[in-house]
Chains A and B, each alone.
Chain A
Amino acid sequence: MSADGAPRVAVVVFPGSNCDEDAAIAARNLLQADVKMVRHDERALGDPDLVVLPGGFSYGDYLRSGAMARFSPVMESVAAFASQGGAVLGICNGFQILCEAGLLPGAMLRNDGLRFVCRDVHLRVETKRTPFTLAINKGDVLRMPIAHGDGNWTAERGAFEEIVARDQVVFRYVRADGSRGEGGNPNGSLDDVAGICNVQGNVVGLMPHPERASEDLLGGSDGGRLFKSFATTRLAMRGA
């Protein structure tokens, strides 16, 4: 924790990351954060309050999305930070990397329609137990864009039952009215999962891009609610 009021946010930059600046801007505008861009080959995160793994196409998405980024030196630091309870947010490719690294359960398959899908989707908040949803109501519907070809999250049947039982599903794809069904899920993910967390709840990954819907100028501010929720959580923790 930084001594002054401003949170410190580390945004990891892999070769092929392309949403790193967007994430930094969202952190600066919504959290008034002191943002540090951390290269994939660095190890020092800079004592952050939050680590963001941004979207993009790290290592060209070769082999499997996120498979190579997982072995970057910086990921050892991210794993250590996460194991101490540090807040980690993986967006799109960042989510894929967290799954490949084993920091989140499951894996990504090609979208079931085989196409890269780039459009707005609706997400329903399924749990308040993460720093990014603590200040959002369960059941709230958020609109954010997606832009991915490999977002079809899946897990083995037994593993998924545990994920559900442990309240690790954070976001599900829904229709605009908040209901699940035809037209809601853009990629065929298991049980309409759009985002999950680890058992402790401090590591969250999602395929949609909250940083691209972080203020009205961008066409929507629902994604900003994740950042604002993090700010609320942090203040609550500091007050405790």
Chain B
Amino acid sequence: MTVLVKVMLKPGVLDPQGKAIAGALHRLGYGAVSDVRAGKLIRIEVETDDAAAARDIGAQMAEKLLANPVIEDYEVALEAAPAPAGAAR
């Protein structure tokens, strides 16, 4: 299964990258942009067919390594299974 771990800086933690991206978007004319936060998406292939186990291992990995709880929050999701063989792409 494919586990997706999304890591974002906590609300209120200064995000210099997000600020720089927001500045660039404003310069490109996207005046409607009011805030940008930049995070990380980590895509992990796990050898299991058990969705609950995959989520659980994703959360464990996030706690141990992928996110720093002082500054970051994380979310774990499973990527939708690929379309069955023969289906139109």
Query: A107 and B17: CB pair below 8 A?
Result: no
Query: A64 and B68: CB pair below 8 A?
Result: yes
The answer to the question of A222 belonging to the interface, with a C-beta cut-off of 8 Å to chain B, is no
Of B14, B65, B71, which contacts A71 at CB under 8 A? B65
The answer to the question of A237 belonging to the interface, with a C-beta cut-off of 8 Å to chain B, is no
Bound CA span A228–B70, Å:
34
Of B13, B17, B66, B70, which contacts A63 at CB under 8 A? B66
A228 to chain B, nearest CB (A): 33
Query: A110 and B68: CB pair below 8 A?
Result: no
With a CB–CB cut-off of 8 A, which chain A residues contact B17?
A: 110, 114
The answer to the question of B20 belonging to the interface, with a C-beta cut-off of 8 Å to chain A, is yes
With a CB–CB cut-off of 8 A, which chain A residues contact B71?
A: 107, 109, 154
Interface size on B, residues (CB 8 A): 12
1/0 per residue, CB under 8 A from B, across A105-118: the answer is: 01101111110000
The answer to the question of A177 belonging to the interface, with a C-beta cut-off of 8 Å to chain B, is no
With a CB–CB cut-off of 8 A, which chain A residues contact B40?
A: 63
Query: B70 and A107: CB pair below 8 A?
Result: yes
With a CB–CB cut-off of 8 A, which chain A residues contact B66?
A: 63
Query: B65 and A156: CB pair below 8 A?
Result: no
B1-20 interface (Cβ within 8 A of A) = 9, 13-14, 16-17, 20
Query: A107 and B68: CB pair below 8 A?
Result: yes
A163 to chain B, nearest CB (A): 12
Query: A112 and B65: CB pair below 8 A?
Result: no
Which residue, of A109, A155, A159, has the highest number of chain B Cβ atoms within 10 A?
Answer: A109
Known: A63-B65, A67-B65, A71-B65. A156 touches B70 (CB 8 A): yes
Of the four ranges (under 10, 10 to 19, 20 to 34, 35 or more), the interface on chain A belongs to 20 to 34
Query: A114 and B16: CB pair below 8 A?
Result: yes
With a CB–CB cut-off of 8 A, which chain B residues contact A63?
A: 40, 65-66
Query: A109 and B65: CB pair below 8 A?
Result: no
Query: B20 and A109: CB pair below 8 A?
Result: no
Nearest chain-A residue to B42 (Cβ)?
A: A63
Query: A100 and B68: CB pair below 8 A?
Result: yes
Of B9, B14, B16, B68, which contacts A67 at CB under 8 A? B68
The answer to the question of A188 belonging to the interface, with a C-beta cut-off of 8 Å to chain B, is yes
A143-190 interface (Cβ within 8 A of B) = 152, 154-156, 159, 188
B18 to chain A, nearest CB (A): 10
Query: B16 and A111: CB pair below 8 A?
Result: yes
B83 to chain A, nearest CB (A): 31
Bound CA span A155–B10, Å:
12
A157 to chain B, nearest CB (A): 9
Known: A63-B65, A109-B13, A154-B13. A114 touches B20 (CB 8 A): yes
The 7 closest A-B pairs by CB, nearest first: A107-B70, A107-B71, A110-B16, A114-B16, A107-B68, A112-B16, A114-B20
B residues whose Cβ falls under 8 Å from a Cβ of A: 9, 13-14, 16-17, 20, 40, 65-66, 68, 70-71
A residues whose Cβ falls under 8 Å from a Cβ of B: 63-64, 67-68, 71, 99-100, 106-107, 109-114, 152, 154-156, 159, 188
